Chains A and B, each alone.
Chain A
């Protein structure tokens, strides 16, 4: 989650939603994102909303600390219950992200999940994921997580090469994330993801191939591979600007992406979103699919975004201010936007086009439809699905997805 919040209108003090936000909710799955804003150290490329201090206070003295954070977050889950009123939906997916969720005790993550179970109930077969730092978990910790109900874990591996990890300021030793996959399997996790980053300055094709091979050999059922984004305001951006580190060329990113696609598909992984591959349908991250398919999700924690029935809001960023709002019985929402029909149409195109299922052509206006036909001819959209009424990116199209979106939303 990027650290800069959008502009929007204010959120009501009690966090209440417009009356029609829950219309037709029964047909949409509901998920929870729980944000943990703590890290042991800040990585040079990261612009997420996370803090290395253990204790942060709000202006009224409310304390957000690693120790009481789970309790604070449970307060927001209770607020969610009030706001959603008699919405009968059980929760289909929970995803704990950060920051570094595993800097909290496993019992704390369990408590947060328990609150959701108490207030909303979990659907049968609900997907419960946490992100985990390879250095902050061990078999015992993973066992506790599994016992408290987590059934999917996502490790930040990034690279198999020490020198690449060093540029990224990642502190784990090469090999440790791969070992984590085995430990997670042993603890009973059915679904395990490894996150990879390509195109880090100093990374060679060979380094990247080694990372892919190592990740596959570890046996996850899901791999996310992201081109390194150099975000403004990060340490990495400053170092590149000063010329200490070279910027990676976009063509290199394109080459690395093609390597990922080739290596992963040969190993039995199929892409289902531009940056995500899974070995099977059940291996896909259902929580992330909620985002991409316009479902409802409640994001709890500082800076977290939520979306319910066309209303999107986001919480205050600072953990102290966040704790303060909840302590005073207020919604921690900092701003919201109520999406127009056109906004929702545009968002559907820009999100669904990234998926292997693509987006339906009937979402497109005449100009967008003409562009789609053109892009089939250009080789950016698949011809078969197009005939069947869907815009689905080709491999080359995946690399130019944003350009295709710009044309299709016309």
Chain B
């Protein structure tokens, strides 16, 4: 292992020609974090004894799921032993990218901060759909691609096969694909040398007004918001007044510096440098990914391109199981929002579930992660309604409604309903093509194209309504392909569809939590399934309870909960009275927890069970 490089250039005084900004594109589990760990060790920024696995992943959930949600940038000194730069200490900024489909925009901003990327692929598994999608993003950003196969130490590794696949995809020679083992460290030094040799140095105007692009912002409870930037032009200096160009908001730079990997303050950041800013703001929405930072005085007039406001794609109602936890849920969402500019929510009330929030997410993983964090970090027990997408409803009178909650779907004469669509990419072994096509067809998909990546691996491209994939599509895809398929999608717009709202009525009263917007061909099946499910779950009442599924006033399915005929204890003598009274007290408590839908008492458990997916049940049986 090389000794720690000497004559390390200092931040704000680094020659852009010595800077290499790169990221690592990889699928979950393909070893990105392990490779990053190895780079930290090899460049000496983290001492051996301080090393812990996946050093850069800070959140417990990330560590447990082995995925990275928030990216970071680390400044690594590296003096290559080979090539033109041999012996000269360079500065490598490794920008960690989020690994999941929901965070495509954040990924695109991270990529925009780089000039090159390591395309890291598991030598036993080959490239996956998300990796491919991110690779295309990198190519769009004109990044230099360094293809790398990881885990070559595994017995199941097929480096020749997957080197050929990678070479085919990016159009290089298979011999150019580096082979490393992040676990053992084999090939990592050579990889760093190659980064120096192949990734172009950043280019910017040193004497222009400063323009720095925000590629990440993280809330830290001690320091407030930490904003990660890449300086494109000019220079940012400490104690300077800065401005966010999207909003015009001005802040004082309390601290500026680099991560190596602990935060280290510096005098400033110059052209091509990557580092962090602290301004004392408390909310990441004031420091938006993609925004341009400049000086307040004599600042730039043109922002860098590519900024977008995060837009939630998937909505779900989150309700505390215990209604008295509502304030805790609100506080928890407030806290999470400090660190998650894409999280939006507003209070809503459900007759069935009480007080809760309609929460918007970037996608399914985002929803999962937020829900899990709420439950784990804040100790909340939650009920989530089935996720839905945003619909745009045009009425015959020309008025327009945006629907984020199915129960708010307008009544009256509807001219057209628009739903969001995505371009989905599925990669899988070719033997599963039939099963995947069948699944996509059943989800109203239309095939855009199909390519063989290698002899036995296929890429399928579909246009699918987002609504068809938010619920259980991924689970279905996995189960139909024995876990081999990978999925990526990106929103591509909207389409009109023949959509209807299906209401579920108990004894004539609508249960808002079960209203759903569906394609008309699927409404009947949903109605039958929900009515049947509820018949099993709703306890018998003193009267007969009809359960109906209806589109408007048209009933499409009906079930009946028979009236209870016997609810009396046969014996009540001297020794039974205390027990009976105590039972009564307990039953009264239970009665308080019942939700009233009109005159029907429904235990909360019935709602929870009805909202859970059938697939969830079958999963536990496997």
Closest to A294 in B: B577
A299 on the B face (CB < 8 A): yes
The 8 Å CB contact of A406, one of B575, B577, B579, B591, is B591
> A399 near B573 (CB under 8 angstroms)?
no
Closest to B578 in A: A6
B568 on the A face (CB < 8 A): yes
The 8 Å CB contact of B575, one of A251, A303, A399, is A303
B581 on the A face (CB < 8 A): yes
Least CB distance from B573 to A in Å reads: 6
Which size bracket describes the interface of B in this complex?
20 to 34
> A350 near B580 (CB under 8 angstroms)?
yes
Q: Which residues of B contact A257 (CB under 8 A)?
A: 566
CA–CA, A250 and B565, complex, Å: 7
B64 on the A face (CB < 8 A): no
Given A305-B574, A347-B577, A380-B542, verify A406-B588 contact (CB < 8 Å).
Answer: yes
B572 on the A face (CB < 8 A): yes
A402 on the B face (CB < 8 A): yes
> B575 near A227 (CB under 8 angstroms)?
no
Closest to B571 in A: A226
Contact with B along A249-270 (1 / 0, CB 8 A): 0110110010000000000000
Q: Which residues of A contact B584 (CB under 8 A)?
A: 346, 350, 405-406, 409
A401 on the B face (CB < 8 A): yes
Q: Which residues of A contact B573 (CB under 8 A)?
A: 1, 288, 291
CA–CA, A5 and B570, complex, Å: 19
CA–CA, A306 and B543, complex, Å: 39
CA–CA, A401 and B591, complex, Å: 16
The 8 Å CB contact of B542, one of A228, A346, A378, is A378
Q: Which residues of A contact B570 (CB under 8 A)?
A: 226-229, 274-275
Contact with A along B552-587 (1 / 0, CB 8 A): 000000000010111111111111111111101001
Q: Which residues of A contact B543 (CB under 8 A)?
A: 378
Number of interface residues of A (CB under 8 A): 48
CA–CA, A346 and B586, complex, Å: 13
A403 on the B face (CB < 8 A): yes
CA–CA, A229 and B577, complex, Å: 16
> A305 near B542 (CB under 8 angstroms)?
no
Closest to B587 in A: A406
Least CB distance from B538 to A in Å reads: 16
> B542 near A401 (CB under 8 angstroms)?
no
Given A250-B564, A350-B584, A406-B591, verify A275-B571 contact (CB < 8 Å).
Answer: yes
Least CB distance from B585 to A in Å reads: 8
Given A6-B579, A403-B542, A406-B591, verify A251-B574 contact (CB < 8 Å).
Answer: no
- 21 A-B pairs whose Cβ atoms sit less than 8 Å apart in the complex: A2-B575, A2-B579, A8-B578, A228-B570, A229-B570, A250-B565, A251-B566, A257-B566, A274-B570, A292-B572, A299-B575, A303-B575, A347-B577, A347-B581, A400-B542, A400-B564, A400-B565, A400-B568, A401-B569, A409-B588, A410-B588
Q: List 14 extra interface pairs beyond A229-B569, A274-B568, CB under 8 A.
A: A1-B574, A1-B575, A2-B579, A226-B570, A251-B565, A275-B570, A291-B577, A292-B572, A299-B575, A303-B575, A305-B577, A312-B577, A350-B580, A354-B572
Binding site for A on B (CB under 8 A): 542-543, 562, 564-582, 584, 587-588, 591
Q: 7 closest Cβ contacts across the A-B interface?
A: A1-B575, A254-B565, A226-B570, A401-B568, A254-B566, A227-B570, A305-B575
